Amino acid sequence: MSETVGDSKQPAKRGLKNRHVQLIAIGGTIGTGLFMGAGRSINYAGPAILLVYLIIGLFMFVVMRAIGELLYADPKQHTFITFITKYVGNRAGFFARWSYWLTIVFMGMAELTAVAKYIQFWLPHVPSWAIQVVMLVALTVINLIAVALYGETEFWFAMIKIVAILALIVTGIIMALTGFKTPVGDVAFSNVWQHFSLFPNGFGHFIDAFQMVMFAFVGMEFIGMTAAETENPRQVLPKAINQIPWRILFFYLGALFIIMTIYPWQKIPADQSPFVMVFELVGIKWAAALINFVVLTSAASALNSVIFSASRNFYALAFQSKASFLQPFKKLSHAQLPVPAVLITALMIGFSAVISVIPSITNAFSFVTSASTDLFLMIYILILVAYWRYRQSKDYLADGFLVIAPRLLVPMAILFFIFVFVTLFFNSESRIPAIGATLWLVLFGCVAYRQPKTLAQ
């Protein structure tokens, strides 16, 4: 069967193996938000943060199952964004295609900036822009050689994150079972529920925790795109997606539970990584360097995924546009890789190196990356709307990889993402980016409305 992207008839290489996807799927649900942001989220909600992760994990699983069902029904697609065009209309598709590509490019710029910051932990005198250029070139080359090499790189990036969390969980369990004592108190499972309160720092901070945790999950949809790049997507997709809830339970909730077991949650500072504090309590003097290495690989992994995902989306975008400047990006290399799309994506991400040497626009960059992250909520809503339209279409595959209880969970998920977006306006830190995302919705929405209702064949 000829594999296609968007409306193309050109074959696109599928070179990922099942083992790549399974481990990438685990790593894809674990971001720097857990390693660096867990302290702040625990500080906001206390042990109730476990409930926040469970709720958001449930609705992100609904999104992933919807993506999985769409890709299972039409496995020739390499990106789920094309389904928005197909089932919601070309105008919504135009908005989603460009918004999603730009959003993940900005996400890549933020990750590249973070990579440079983490490397400067060891090389403080090397300028940020130089580190960014070297790292971007290295990961771009990986994406240009073969899909399998991308998979192998992500495999080992994911392995590092998984080993770090497993080490934390095993260490915490041993400490709790042996009655280990630290300078901040006894290590005990009861630390988690001792003096429990659903809103220990007020209802407002509990709601703010939803925003923080929500953006720790952003990018999980890359798993669906990764699974679509395998030789047997219909076989791999269900396995990769169905294991997501167990990974969330074990890696996110397990890690947070153990952190609060070792370090009483009332004493965890918001501005420090709990992983660093925990490993230092155990006696690992180089804990800061260890966790810096883990978050460095986590950021590099995210950047690697962004180059992969954004280039596939841009390739599909080129086929769904009649614009002459996009036509060169339809080309594939002899290895059946979208080389021009990879290069333009890398070039766009590379602007972060320029930004790093112009301090006056750094704040504007922070604003843009925050606003673009908010756009993910709009994309998730559009995916769910596209899924609902698919269920009502003649394409519906009744014996496919079906969403569980869609009549209940899909509308609930849409309402939940709207709720999270609305809450952004009630927090002083997230309000201005939320206004920026809203302006993008209105202004670019008007541009999208000027497009034809249906895509020309």
- 284-331, pLDDT tens digit by residue? 888 889 888 988 998 888 888 888 888 888 888 887 777 788 888 888
Residue 1 falls inside a structural domain = no
**Please, are residues 264 and 185 in contact by the beta-carbon 8 Å criterion?**
yes
Greater confidence, 418 or 213? 418
**Please, are residues 307 and 137 in contact by the beta-carbon 8 Å criterion?**
no
Residue 415 falls inside a structural domain = yes
Residue 221 falls inside a structural domain = yes
- What is the predicted pLDDT for the residue at 457? 46
**CB-based contacts of 39, cutoff 8 Å, min separation 6:** 268, 269, 270, 271, 272, 273, 274, 277
Instruction: Output the six-digit token pair for 97.
Output: 């295609």
CA distance 354 to 113: 11
**Please, are residues 105 and 308 in contact by the beta-carbon 8 Å criterion?**
no
Strands 181-182 and 185-186: antiparallel
CA-to-CA dists, residue 161 to 41, 101, 282, angstroms: 20, 26, 19
117 in helix, strand or coil? helix
Q: Which of the residue ranges 3-17, 74-88, 412-426 would you say has the lowest mean pLDDT?
A: 3-17
Across the range 4-19, mean pLDDT stands at 52
CA distance 349 to 360: 19
Residue 125, Cβ neighbours under 10 Å: how many?
Answer: 5
Question: What is the residue range of 407's domain?
Answer: 18-449
Residue 454 falls inside a structural domain = no
| Tens digit of each residue's pLDDT (9 = 90 or more) over 402-426 | 999 999 999 999 999 999 999 999 8
Q: How many domains is the chain partitioned into structurally?
A: 1
- What is the predicted pLDDT for the residue at 86? 92
CA distance 406 to 184: 47
Run of H or E residues at 352: helix 351-355
**Please, are residues 233 and 72 in contact by the beta-carbon 8 Å criterion?**
yes
Across the range 210-220, mean pLDDT stands at 84
Across the range 137-158, mean pLDDT stands at 86
The overall average pLDDT reported for the chain is 85
CA distance 169 to 156: 20
Give the domain CATH number at 255: 1.20.1740.10
CA distance 151 to 235: 17
Residue 92 falls inside a structural domain = yes
- What is the predicted pLDDT for the residue at 11? 47
Instruction: Output the six-digit token pair for 76.
Output: 């020739």
Residue 314 falls inside a structural domain = yes
| Tens digit of each residue's pLDDT (9 = 90 or more) over 249-267 | 888 899 999 999 998 888 8
Residue 406 falls inside a structural domain = yes
Name the pLDDT band for 363 (thresholds 50, 70, 90): low
Name the pLDDT band for 15 (thresholds 50, 70, 90): low
Residue 7 falls inside a structural domain = no
CA distance 96 to 84: 7
Instruction: Output the six-digit token pair for 252.
Output: 């996110």
Q: Angle between the 254-262 and 147-177 helix axes, to the nearest 10 degrees?
A: 40
Residue 394, Cβ neighbours under 10 Å: how many?
Answer: 4
| Tens digit of each residue's pLDDT (9 = 90 or more) over 258-293 | 999 998 888 888 878 888 888 888 778 888 898 889
